[in-house]
């Protein structure tokens, strides 16, 4: 084979093949539409087959689940029958022993009444459900039949006698459970008009003012106690309700020494007039002014020593003001005084809620 033949062969290979008569440069719209429709029908048939396959699988799973639930119900029914038979044997044995020993039944006839078959449960399930309800799984002398009845009673919301007593306790006419042991929560001896403090009586008739202070503070504590008792049970059991009750109980206990001093008419001469002013302005519903008097009483106007007060042999200027008469911070003097003065401030906060002022500017912040 010479070079010319090889070259012609290669040229023939590289030349494009001539189109056949059947192929055409242009396509018809009908052909494109028929091809698209055929493709759409094929995809819909494929989706339909997938749906049918999923539905068949779902029906199969439902049948399997139904068979499993039926087997479980059959097992529970069988266990309940076995448990019932065991309980009947125990009851027969117990009754036989009681008849032999000639002991009284003690109300067993009420407990021996049978329960419906649909309420009968196996022992394991009864114990598990009692644990879930946070109830004791067994009581002393309780039979399995009584245990099932107790479970159904708890699930229906009966709660027994103890829960009923707990619900009835807050509705009792007594103010609170903390007030019964407090002797100073008695009714005030003076009427409301006789409790009105006059500033001129502080020096002219201190015995009358002592009685007025004692009666008014007792009235405030009694009203506070009644307002806490009037709250609904949901509010009392909330965090804010428990904090309010705790604050009241603390103030009640802290004011015990103050009541003793008022009964003995032996209040500190620097504290007595300030307490009278606080009560006077509180009765006039001027709570901001009463709070200012409380601040002067508790913090005082005395200079507060910061750091070292004596750094040499010479006395520093204005050092004598640290212990000036009538300007001491009495709330810092001892723990008992601090506590009952803070309790007076809590009584002021309650008073502005119980007896709100006409002028809103007199409300403490």
| pLDDT digits (tens), the chain, 365 positions | 577 788 888 887 776 655 554 556 788 888 889 999 999 999 999 999 999 999 999 999 999 999 999 999 999 888 888 888 888 888 888 777 665 554 444 444 444 566 676 667 888 888 888 988 888 888 888 888 888 889 888 888 755 444 444 444 444 333 444 443 444 556 677 788 888 899 888 889 999 999 999 999 999 999 999 999 999 989 988 999 999 999 999 999 999 999 999 999 998 888 999 999 999 999 999 999 999 999 888 887 655 555 555 556 665 555 555 555 554 555 656 888 889 999 999 999 999 998 998 888 888 86
CA dist., res. 40 & res. 47, Å (int): 11
Q: Which of 248, 257, 81, 135 is nearest to 184 (CA)?
A: 257
CA dist., res. 88 & res. 112, Å (int): 10
Residues 6+ apart with CB under 8 A from 194: 212, 215
Q: How many CB atoms lie within 10 A of CB 59?
A: 10
- 179: which DSSP letter? S
How far from each other are the two terminal CA atoms of the chain, in whole angstroms? 118
3-state secondary structure of 322: helix
Looking at residue 332, what is its pLDDT? Answer: 59
Whether the model pTM is above 0.75: no
Q: Which two tokens stand for residue 223?
A: 């009203």
Residues 6+ apart with CB under 8 A from 133: 151, 154, 155
Rg (CA), the chain: 46
Burial of 22 (0-12, 13-18, 19+ CB in 10 A): exposed
**Angle ∠(292,293,294) on CA atoms, nearest 5:** 90
Residue 307: φ, ψ to 5°: 85, -150
Looking at residue 331, what is its pLDDT? Answer: 60
Strand (E) or helix (H) holding 351 = helix 335-354
Q: Which two tokens stand for residue 176?
A: 């609170």
3-state helix, strand, coil in the chain (%, to 5): 65, 0, 35
Looking at residue 312, what is its pLDDT? Answer: 60
């Amino acid at each position: 084979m010479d070079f010319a033949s090889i070259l012609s062969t290669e040229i023939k290979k590289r030349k494009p093949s001539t189109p056949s008569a059947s192929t055409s440069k242009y396509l018809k719209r009908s052909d494109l539409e028929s091809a698209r429709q055929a493709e759409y029908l094929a995809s819909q048939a494929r989706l339909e087959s997938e749906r049918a396959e999923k539905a068949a699988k779902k029906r199969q799973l439902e049948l399997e689940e139904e068979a499993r639930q039926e087997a479980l119900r059959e097992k529970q029914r069988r266990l309940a029958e076995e448990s019932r038979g065991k309980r009947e044997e125990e009851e027969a044995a117990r009754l036989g022993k009681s008849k032999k020993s000639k002991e009284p039944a003690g109300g067993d006839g009420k407990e021996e009444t049978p329960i419906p078959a649909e309420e009968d449960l196996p022992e394991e399930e009864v114990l598990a459900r009692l644990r879930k309800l946070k109830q004791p799984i067994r009581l002393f002398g309780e039979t399995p039949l009584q245990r099932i009845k107790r479970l159904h009673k708890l699930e229906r919301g009966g709660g027994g006698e103890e829960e009923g007593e707990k619900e009835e306790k807050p509705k009792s006419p007594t103010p609170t459970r903390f007030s019964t042991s407090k002797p100073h929560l008695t009714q005030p001896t003076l009427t409301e008009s006789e409790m009105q403090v006059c500033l001129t009586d502080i020096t002219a008739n201190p015995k009358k003012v002592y009685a007025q202070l004692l009666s008014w503070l007792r009235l405030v504590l009694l009203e506070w106690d009644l307002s806490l008792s009037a709250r609904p049970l949901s509010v009392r059991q909330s965090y804010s309700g428990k904090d309010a009750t705790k604050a009241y109980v603390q103030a009640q206990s802290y004011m015990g020494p103050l009541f003793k001093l008022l009964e003995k008419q032996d209040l500190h001469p620097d504290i007595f007039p300030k307490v009278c002013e606080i009560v006077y302005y509180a009765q006039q519903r001027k709570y901001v002014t009463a709070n200012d008097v409380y601040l002067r009483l508790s913090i005082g106007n005395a200079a507060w020593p910061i750091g070292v007060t004596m750094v040499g042999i010479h006395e520093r200027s204005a050092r004598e003001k640290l212990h000036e008469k009538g300007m001491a911070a009495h709330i810092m003097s001892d723990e008992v005084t601090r506590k009952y003065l803070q309790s007076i401030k809590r009584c002021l906060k309650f008073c502005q809620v119980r007896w709100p002022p006409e002028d809103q500017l007199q409300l403490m912040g």
